[in-house]
């Protein structure tokens, strides 16, 4: 992780999210890294199921946007925040990250590999549990 930082979000950030994907995209694809960090922190509140916020109507597009944030020119903190949202609240496949894996900084590649393969690992675990149950029943 980068240097210690304090990131907050305001009602203005919530309003950006409520306005929809176009408003979110304008900030996350813009130049202001502080605004990006604030909005990503705000998105954590919207994406965390604990808080019961409904963003289902933009979720697929938001997942693609977060992947794009990881691969485009951003500071490392912004990329890490986007990766954390993907890893904590979404499920693969992550086609954009896979297609642009070679464009990702070396220091982020282990995290990206893990996130890209989470759903595959879970499937393998399910298959293994099912096979173990079969063996146990025999």
Q: What is the pLDDT of residues 48-103, one digit of tens each?
A: 999 998 888 999 999 999 999 999 978 999 999 999 999 999 988 999 999 999 99
CA 84, CA 90: separation in Å to the nearest integer?
10
CA 108, CA 113: separation in Å to the nearest integer?
9
- Its sign, for the CA torsion 92, 96, 100, 104, is negative
Quick one: pLDDT band at residue 27, thresholds 50, 70, 90?
Answer: very high
Task: Answer yes or no: is pLDDT of 1 > 70.
Answer: no
pTM (two decimals): 0.83
């Amino acid at each position: 992780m980068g240097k210690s930082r304090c990131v907050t979000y305001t009602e203005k950030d919530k309003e950006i999210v409520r306005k929809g994907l176009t408003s979110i995209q304008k900030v996350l694809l813009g130049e202001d890294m502080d605004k990006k960090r604030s909005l990503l922190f705000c998105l954590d509140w919207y994406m965390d199921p604990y808080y019961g916020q409904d963003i289902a109507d933009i979720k697929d597009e938001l997942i693609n946007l977060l992947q794009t944030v990881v691969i485009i020119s951003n500071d490392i903190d912004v990329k890490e925040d986007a990766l954390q949202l993907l890893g904590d609240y979404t499920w693969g496949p992550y086609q954009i990250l896979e297609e642009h894996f070679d464009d990702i900084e070396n220091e982020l590649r282990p995290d990206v590999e893990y996130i890209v393969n989470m759903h595959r690992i879970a499937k393998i675990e399910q298959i293994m549990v099912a096979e173990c149950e079969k063996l146990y029943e025999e």
